[in-house]
């Protein structure tokens, strides 16, 4: 096999049209990552695994007309939707292109800032991706990355996560054969030779209108790969069990809040390599 292994890109092609509905989950954390990176007016930013622009659009606001934001994603459908969103919004300083995060082909030392939100944890070789981030940055350039810590569940109902684990074991799903939520973004940056590495965990809570809204949202995430691996009868059985657990918790104000504790890390490429 040539090059690093690739993610199942077709899953994200199918996620793209209805990406991040109901609670603006990715947009919330994308904007936060941009805040931590603090791109300045006139800077060049590379947004890796850009999706539908959770980081790209707030970064474009920050760098202004004198700057530029390039969004790259492995999924052709994500890129097509992102390009359409850029055009529809009149964001003249942003572009979208297809590219593998684990094998970036951008010119070396060409960016002031590299961003990668909620993507390293699903990559088969996140170290290869982070090595590419360093090469893409100018000396002294900044990198900011983030990963989730868990599956977002209304009310943080542990029985829901247990149901997911049970069906993964029953189905032999390859999606859960590796511990995707164990990625340490700060350690990845340090291993790639970045300096001034700063890691932090933050907390945010999200309220879904009802169980159907949460179920729809999960289909717009990487969980979709797990669902699509299940036989139709097992998927329907899973859906029924999840609804039986969550529907009784619904109120006129929605389901109880679900908690996400993402891990963020920022760092710099050394001024001199050695």
Position 173 confidence tier, pLDDT thresholds 50, 70, 90 = low
Q: For the whole model, what pTM was predicted? A: 0.93
pLDDT at residue 150 tops 90: no
Encode pLDDT of 153-168 as tens digits.
999 999 999 999 899 8
Q: What pLDDT is recorded for position 8?
A: 77
Q: What pLDDT is recorded for position 177?
A: 46
Average pLDDT over residues 93-116: 97
CA distance 146 to 166: 28
DSSP codes joined into one string, 183-222: --HHHHHHHTT-EEEEEEE--EEE--SSHHHHHHHHTTST
Position 63 confidence tier, pLDDT thresholds 50, 70, 90 = very high
pLDDT at residue 200 tops 50: yes
Q: What pLDDT is recorded for position 170?
A: 84
Q: What pLDDT is recorded for position 252?
A: 97
Q: What pLDDT is recorded for position 168?
A: 86
Listed residue (131, 62, 81) closest to 71, CA to CA: 81
Position 174 confidence tier, pLDDT thresholds 50, 70, 90 = low
Q: What pLDDT is recorded for position 5?
A: 42
Dihedral of CA atoms 175, 180, 181, 185 in degrees, nearest 10, equals -150
What SS3 class is residue 239? helix
* Half-sphere exposure (Cβ direction) of 118: Cα atoms closer than 13 Å: 26
pLDDT at residue 3 tops 50: no
**233 Cβ contact list (under 8 Å, min separation 6):** none
CA distance 60 to 30: 12
CA distance 199 to 237: 40
Mean pLDDT across the chain = 93
pLDDT at residue 263 tops 50: yes
Q: What pLDDT is recorded for position 222?
A: 86
Q: What pLDDT is recorded for position 273?
A: 75
Instruction: Please tell me which residue, 2 or 254, carries the higher pLDDT value.
Output: 254
What SS3 class is residue 108? coil
Instruction: Please tell me which residue, 141 or 181, carries the higher pLDDT value.
Output: 141
**234 Cβ contact list (under 8 Å, min separation 6):** 167, 170, 171
Residue with tokens 């606001």: 61
pLDDT at residue 14 tops 80: yes
CA distance 229 to 236: 12
CB 129 within 8 A of CB 5: no
CA distance 158 to 151: 10
Q: What pLDDT is recorded for position 267?
A: 98
pLDDT at residue 136 tops 50: yes
């Amino acid at each position: 096999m040539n090059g690093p292994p690739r993610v199942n890109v077709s899953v994200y092609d199918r996620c793209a049209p209805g990406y991040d509905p109901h609670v603006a989950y990715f947009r919330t954390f994308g904007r936060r990552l941009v805040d931590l990176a603090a791109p300045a007016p006139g800077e060049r930013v590379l947004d890796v695994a850009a999706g539908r622009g959770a980081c790209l659009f707030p970064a474009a606001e920050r760098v202004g007309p004198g700057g530029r934001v390039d969004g790259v994603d492995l999924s052709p459908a994500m890129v097509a939707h992102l390009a359409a969103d850029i055009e529809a919004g009149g964001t003249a300083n942003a572009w979208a292109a297809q590219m593998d995060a684990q094998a970036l082909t951008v010119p070396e030392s060409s960016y002031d800032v590299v961003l990668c939100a909620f993507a390293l944890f699903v990559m088969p070789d996140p170290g290869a991706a982070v090595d590419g981030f360093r090469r893409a940055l100018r000396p002294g350039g900044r990198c900011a990355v983030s990963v989730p810590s868990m599956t977002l569940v209304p009310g943080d109902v542990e029985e829901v996560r247990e149901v997911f684990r049970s069906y993964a074991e029953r189905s032999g799903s390859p999606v859960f054969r590796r511990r995707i939520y164990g990625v340490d973004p700060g350690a990845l940056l340090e291993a790639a030779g970045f300096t001034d590495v700063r890691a932090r965990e933050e907390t945010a809570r999200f309220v879904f209108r009802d169980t159907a809204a949460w179920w729809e949202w999960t289909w717009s995430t990487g969980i979709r790969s797990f669902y699509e691996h299940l036989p139709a009868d097992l998927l329907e059985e899973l859906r029924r069990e999840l609804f039986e657990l969550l529907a009784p918790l619904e109120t006129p104000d929605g389901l109880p809040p679900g908690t996400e504790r993402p891990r963020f890390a920022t760092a710099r490429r050394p001024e001199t390599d050695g």
